[in-house]
């Protein structure tokens, strides 16, 4: 079976439609069917799973998804690609292409358009690199219970999301995602298999939604806000970052000291040394003691 992702097929499609890449949309099309096969296998699809794809391009990944899933709903923001997708995906009656921005569309309404909207939904996509994090957080924080994400992104971003404490990559993004999802890098994708080739290597990140958030907190918004505070200046101690947020008044210092003692956390530690459960303890203690400043 001939694949859209075959390099010669990709070039022929682009030339036939006179398509030119837009840097502003982060367009890099994958031209290696073996990589697409691995992505599909990593997603563990079946005819009992629906798929959301973001940025289908000319449909290279989409057709692999269509062959293995019940239905695919692909969101493409670039109007110029819609007639190309109409052509390349003409043989697949289980694909819906939606010409909308994934960040602006009403996803709750869209997913009702699946023939069987009650099937589990997985997100499988080669995400636009310039907007990877906003898209991921938008989807993760939505009320839609996506079962899994298998998504391609810059290797550096994948490393940050899946990072463990006491590493350079660990930060507020690691905490924000791992709170909801179990995240791990499935495999690396070299820059050489794209047209045009990006400046960095990519990674396939697999994220499986937890049955319950990793930790229990009374105020999620404050928990995430506090984790960002801790990494405001990575080289500074937790104490200095908290002072930068809450202020240096003597009364504030007393409250901060009490909160840190309750959480059994040293003020001289850096944010990157705290595990997510320790961040949860700290958030609860700060919330109790700093209620007026929150």
In the three-class reduction of DSSP (H, G, I as helix; E, B as strand; rest coil), residue 39 is classed as: helix
Is 86 annotated in a binding site? The answer is no
* 91 assigned to a ligand binding site: no
Whats the size of the chain, residue-wise? 294
101 is in an annotated binding site: yes
Known binder of ligand: residue 50?
A: no
Q: Which residues have CB under 8 Å from 230's CB, separation 6+? A: 172, 238, 241, 242, 271, 274, 279
Report helix, strand or coil for 139: helix
From residue 197, how far is each of 59, 159, 202 by CA, in Å?
Answer: 18, 20, 11
Nearest to 75 by CA among 144, 128, 32: 128
Q: Is 9 annotated as a binding residue?
A: no
- Residues 6 or more apart in contact with residue 22 via CB below 8 angstroms: 78
**30 known ligand binder:** yes
Write the DSSP string, 161-176: HHPPTTSTT-SHHHHH
Return the half-sphere exposure (C-beta side, CA atoms, 13 A cut-off) of residue 46: 4
Annotated binding site for S-adenosyl-L-methionine: 28, 30, 55, 76, 101, 126
Q: Which residues are annotated as a binding site?
A: 28, 30, 55, 76, 101, 126
């Amino acid at each position: 079976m001939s694949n859209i992702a075959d390099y010669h097929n990709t070039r022929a499609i682009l030339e036939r439609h006179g398509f030119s890449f837009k840097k502003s949309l982060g367009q890099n099309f994958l031209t290696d069917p073996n990589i697409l096969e691995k992505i599909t296998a990593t997603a563990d699809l079946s005819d009992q799973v629906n798929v959301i794809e973001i940025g289908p391009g000319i449909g290279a990944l989409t057709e692999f998804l269509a062959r293995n899933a019940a239905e695919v709903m692909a969101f493409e923001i670039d109007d110029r690609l819609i007639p190309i997708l109409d052509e390349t995906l003409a043989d697949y009656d289980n694909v819906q292409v939606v010409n909308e921005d994934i960040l602006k569309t009403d996803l709750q309404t869209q997913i009702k358009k699946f023939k069987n909207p009650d099937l589990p939904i997985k997100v499988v996509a080669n995400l636009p690199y310039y907007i990877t994090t906003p898209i991921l957080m938008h989807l993760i924080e939505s009320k839609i219970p996506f079962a899994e994400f298998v998504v391609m992104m810059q290797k550096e971003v994948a490393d940050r999301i899946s990072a463990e404490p006491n590493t350079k990559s660990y930060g507020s993004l690691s905490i924000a995602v791992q709170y909801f999802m179990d995240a791990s890098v499935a495999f690396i994708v070299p820059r050489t298999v794209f047209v045009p080739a990006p400046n960095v290597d990519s990674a396939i990140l697999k994220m499986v939604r937890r049955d319950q958030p990793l930790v229990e907190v009374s105020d999620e918004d404050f928990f995430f806000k506090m984790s960002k505070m801790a990494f405001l200046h990575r080289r500074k101690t937790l104490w200095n970052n908290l002072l930068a947020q809450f202020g240096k008044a003597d009364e504030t210092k007393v409250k901060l000291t009490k909160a840190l003692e309750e959480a059994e956390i040293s003020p001289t530690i850096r944010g990157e040394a705290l595990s997510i459960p320790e961040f949860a303890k700290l958030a609860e203690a700060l919330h109790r003691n700093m209620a007026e400043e929150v």
